[in-house]
Structure 1
Amino acid sequence: MNSHENRSIPSVAVVVFNRFSPFHISVPSIVFGRDTLNEEFFDLKFIAGEEGPILSDIGMEIHTHAQLDALEHSDIILIPYWRTIDERPNYGLIDALCRAHARGALVVGLCLGGYVLAYAGLLAGKRASTHWELEQDFSQRFPEVSLDTNALYVEDKGVITSAGTAAGIDCCLYIFRKYYSSSIANRVARRMVVPPYRDGGQAQFIEQPIPMTTSDSRINALMDNIRTNINQKYTLDELADSVMLTRRTFTRKFHKATGMAFGEWLAFERLNLAQDLLESTDLSIDQIVEKTGFSSAPIFRDKFKERYAVTPHLWRKTFHQQA
């Protein structure tokens, strides 16, 4: 029996509308559907976001599983697109999304789906991402939203938004990793023949995955060196000297390049390595602490539980077989 069968399967509701884009609804279908790995990790359903037939922009029709009232019981709600940035969504949809978010559901807007969440007021006071061509329009239309112009996708207080078309794949894989291990999500990525993490100059200002490269070559070289020697101790003064910068300038440049303070980035790198070691090796907790550079086993356990909401022992018990 697979470990994920021992717990309830998260329900995913993909809300669709007339004039839908086939690609945008195919992405969550492939990532969260059972056909990719021939196993059911999510209970996926397509929900009608409005009355009437649901036809694509090229004449395809989709037959949905349920109406908007089904969102009351969904763990994850995805708006995979929106037909026009000038159109405000219907009140029934806005109300259903707000009530779902209030009860703790994860609400996601892929690409122009972020406009729907913004119209619903779910992005007010939060960070968000959208397609780069629409950044100016989005900012003017929703000034209460802090638009991140670099991120492929952003999570803020139970709401996730993503950038353009292909970023929806990155975003859905990220959601998969939130509920399951990186190793299982990576299997999905391999079956789709896409990278599990996309490198590039756009810093992904979210908990995971953290950016592998940035637009600053000196910061990139430093990050690579630290990953190779992750178990060492580092100080800001020493790091600043190594790239010939003052401490203040280094701190500013590192945050600009990665979207994180150095200490935050280092902790995330160490936790990512620890996660992989728990899944793929039989190393003891003390050995993992030594390899990842945490100062003690209790500190490592606290940091790990703070990030993943489970203990390292439970993570290994749950996911080691999938490594």
Structure 2
Amino acid sequence: AGLDLCVHLVRRDHGPTIANAVARRLVVPPHRDGGQAQFVEAPVPADPGDDRLAASMSWALANLTAEITVARLARQAHMSPRTYLRHFARATGTTPIRWLIDRRVQASLPLLETTSAPIEEVAATVGFETAVTFRHHFAAAMRTSPSAYRRAFTGASGGAHAPGSGTT
């Protein structure tokens, strides 16, 4: 309750953007709606240690809307796909596609928090082929739907979004 009050006071004094950042930092929801997952920013992964690998990851982040495959990432890193997979798993502890899906979900969060763009548009903006795929991966990562996430971050701050824009 004390943390909720703190987030409320920060929201009142400094606005919803700062309050949402504080809520994430404190690992509390920005607004209690009941039955929702906690929203925590993804931790920054350790430096991959391989410049080629880091360059391919940077390229992927800059091109989220492109069709990104392991073969394409491996070409960016000047490696064979098999070598790339091995180096990537060693550096990150995950697969390139899992990492990419997580980055796309993370990229969608500010769009859901600060825009009234329809879910379909948010999905396309971060590189998901369909809104259904986006919703599936978002729910798996965040334990809530994109619409519920948007409501949690805009409902408490009085943020407006177009009616029907947050359909699940």
Report if TM-score (shorter chain) is over 0.5.
Answer: yes
- Structure with bigger strand share is 1
Gaps of 5+ in 2: 11-23, 30-36, 160-168
Larger RCO (CA within 8 A; separation ≥ 6): 2
Q: How many residues align?
A: 137
Shift of 1:36: 7.8
Cα 1:35–1:306 change in 2 (3 A) is: closer
Shift of 1:264: 0.6
CA contact (8 A) 1:174 1:209 kept: no
- Matches of residues 1-323 of structure 1 in structure 2 within 5 Å? 38=9, 173=25, 175-176=27-28, 179-180=38-39, 208-211=42-45, 213-320=47-154, 321=157
CA distance in 2, matches of 1:284, 1:244: 38
- Structure with bigger helix share is 2
Cα offsets for 1:159-200 (capped at 9, x unmatched):
xxxxxxxxxxxxx93744762465xxxxxxxxxxxxxxxxxx
CA contact (8 A) 2:52 2:78 kept: no
Q: Output the amino acid matched with 1:275.
A: L
Question: Partner of 2:117: helix, strand, or coil?
Answer: coil
Question: Partner of 2:105: helix, strand, or coil?
Answer: helix
CA distance in 2, matches of 1:295, 1:174: 33
CA distance in 2, matches of 1:34, 1:258: 37
Cα offsets for 1:19-71 (capped at 9, x unmatched):
xxxxxxxxxxxxx59658746xxxxxxxxxxxxxxxxxxxxxxxxxxxxxxxx
Q: Output the amino acid matched with 2:66.
A: Q
Shift of 1:295: 1.6
Cα 1:322–1:227 change in 2 (3 A) is: farther
CA contact (8 A) 2:56 2:74 kept: no
TM-score between both structures, scaled by the size of structure 1: 0.38
Cα 1:316–1:254 change in 2 (3 A) is: same
TM-score between both structures, scaled by the size of structure 2: 0.69
Cα 1:174–1:249 change in 2 (3 A) is: farther
CA RMSD across the alignment = 2.9
Shift of 1:287: 1.1
Identical-residue share of aligned pairs (%): 25
Cα 1:210–1:313 change in 2 (3 A) is: same
